[in-house]
Amino acid sequence: MLSKIAQNITPSATCELEGVVSDMKAAGVDVIGLNAGEPDFDTPENIRDACKKALDEGKTRYINVPGIPALRKAICEKLKRDNGVEYTPAQICVSTGAKQALNNAIMAVVNAGDEVIIPMPGWVSYVEIVKLVGAVPVCVDTKEDFQLDLDAIEKAITPKTAAIMINTPNNPTGAVYTRESLEKLAELAIKHDFYIVSDEVYEKLIYNGKKHECVASFSEGAYNHTVIINGMSKAFAMTGWRCGYTAAPADIAAGISAIQGHTTSNSTTFVQWASLEALEKNDGTIKEMVGEYAKRKDYTYGRLTGMEGITCANVDGAFYLLPDVSYYFGKKYDGKEIKDSFDFCSYILEKAHVAIVPGGAFNAPNCVRIAYTNSMPKIQEGLDRLEKALKELN
């Protein structure tokens, strides 16, 4: 019989949709994917070469659980340079993607029965990661433009609150949290003594002059109450490589390494050498990708807000927009009614062969998530098809 924890877990809606889209593509359907939470760019050549070199040099064995010293040192240098925070390599644990880093962090700071606050709309895995340790996710709405609602967060705090999981720039909203809101959040974390698990995987993907703020850098108190999560997937187009990390206060970092030592041990050795190359050499390629995303974001936003009934927050981070499409709920096609965001996305996939993700999967029931992780011509065609399909509803 399946365990209670396994029964309680909802499979990832985004991973499931990706499966449907691949099956359709394999069957020869010309699907335009505006669903994938991953860069459409290839991993840069120098990073691939560094991996091949590491393999040829026999860097294929078990290593220290928290990772190769050179990579942990480079991560510390990155955190100091980009985020203004000082860590020693002993405070860094390299993991199999930011996803494992998040799971490690929650296991290290949350007990069964504790509560973890999650601002919503939020990434599909946060609620499930909290449930995996037998803790209780406490979902709190964001306010205008998907910014943190500090009053709502304060009201949600109880003696059982062990942590809050934040993500800026945000998946699925694209919002970049303001410094002011993060400062207030840090004050609450210090006052009520809970951890901020700060997922910064989209930190490099910011447009129109907005700036990423790292909450751990604000004060000693904020630093002592924060676990930073970051990784290579989004910034360096390295999603399949599975390399992420945590930076945490020393006692928490030791707990994280101990936990990882009994799950996966070290993350893949030769991938760590490639990740070192990425951190040391690839700031330039990030800039090129960001320039391209910025153009796509402006175009996608312009097109969406030009469509009848659609409204959308004009956000400046990650590679997502989360338009409100509820104007179309209650409309019909082939005698079938579009009742919610799931029906809306099924219709668009079926009719227009465009894949987008239902907002219902992220606690945004009136919305859909559109990822501009496809080439400009594909985005243009995808949005043309979307607009045409919407006109056919009545």
Residue selected from 72, 99, 296, 369 as contacting ligand PLP according to rule CB under 6 A: 99
**Cα 243 to Cα 97: distance, rounded to the nearest angstrom:** 4
Is 255 one of the binding residues for ligand PLP (CB under 6 A)? no
Q: Listing from the earlier edge strand, what are the strands of the sheet with 195-199?
A: 92-95, 244-247, 226-231, 195-199, 161-167, 115-120, 136-141
Peptide bond into 172 cis (omega under 30): yes
Which stretch, 46-54, 91-99, 297-305, 370-378, contacts ligand PLP (CB under 6 A)?
A: 91-99
Is 201 one of the binding residues for ligand PLP (CB under 6 A)? yes
Residue selected from 83, 161, 173, 233 as contacting ligand PLP according to rule CB under 6 A: 233
Distance, CA of 79 to chain centre: 19
**Pair 392, 351: CB distance under 8 Å:** yes
Q: What's the DSSP call for residue 236?
A: T
Which stretch, 97-105, 246-254, 269-277, 368-376, contacts ligand PLP (CB under 6 A)?
A: 97-105
Q: Least CB distance from residue 201 to ligand PLP, whole Å? A: 5
Q: Least CB distance from residue 338 to ligand PLP, whole Å? A: 27
Q: Least CB distance from residue 126 to ligand PLP, whole Å? A: 8
Which stretch, 5-13, 92-100, 139-147, 281-289, contacts ligand PLP (CB under 6 A)?
A: 92-100
Is 199 one of the binding residues for ligand PLP (CB under 6 A)? yes
Q: Which of 326, 330, 299, 296 is nearest to 311 (CA)?
A: 326
Cα end-to-end distance, the chain, whole Å: 47
Going along 203-318, which residue ranges are E strands?
A: 226-231, 244-247
Is 239 one of the binding residues for ligand PLP (CB under 6 A)? yes
Is 200 one of the binding residues for ligand PLP (CB under 6 A)? no
Phi-psi label, residue 174: left if phi above 0, alpha if psi -120 to 50, beta otherwise: left
Considering only residues 5 through 44, tell me which ones interact with ligand PLP, judged by CB under 6 A. 37
Considering only residues 54 through 83, tell me which ones interact with ligand PLP, judged by CB under 6 A. none
| Closer by beta carbon to ligand PLP, 72 or else 99 | 99
| Closer by beta carbon to ligand PLP, 126 or else 328 | 126
| Closer by beta carbon to ligand PLP, 174 or else 382 | 174
**Pair 177, 148: CB distance under 8 Å:** yes
| Closer by beta carbon to ligand PLP, 170 or else 181 | 170
Q: Least CB distance from residue 199 to ligand PLP, whole Å? A: 5
Task: Report which secondary-structure segment, H or E, holds 119.
Answer: strand 115-120
| Closer by beta carbon to ligand PLP, 247 or else 352 | 247
Q: Which residues pair with 136 in a beta bridge?
A: 115
Is 198 one of the binding residues for ligand PLP (CB under 6 A)? no
Which DSSP string do the residues of 266-289 spell out, in sequence order?
A: SPPHHHHHHHHHHHHH-HHHHHHH
Is 264 one of the binding residues for ligand PLP (CB under 6 A)? no
Q: Least CB distance from residue 103 to ligand PLP, whole Å? A: 10
Q: What's the DSSP call for residue 225?
A: T
Q: Which residue is nearest to ligand PLP (CB)?
A: 97
Is 316 one of the binding residues for ligand PLP (CB under 6 A)? no
Q: Burial letters for 315-337: b for 16+ Cβ neighbours within 10 Å, e otherwise?
A: bbbbbbbbbbbbebeebeeeeee
Query: Which residues neighbour 187 within 8 Å (Cβ) at sequence distance 6 or greater?
Result: none
| Closer by beta carbon to ligand PLP, 242 or else 303 | 242
Is 171 one of the binding residues for ligand PLP (CB under 6 A)? yes
Would you tell me which residues interact with ligand PLP (CB under 6 A)?
37, 97-99, 123, 167, 171, 199, 201, 231, 233, 239, 244
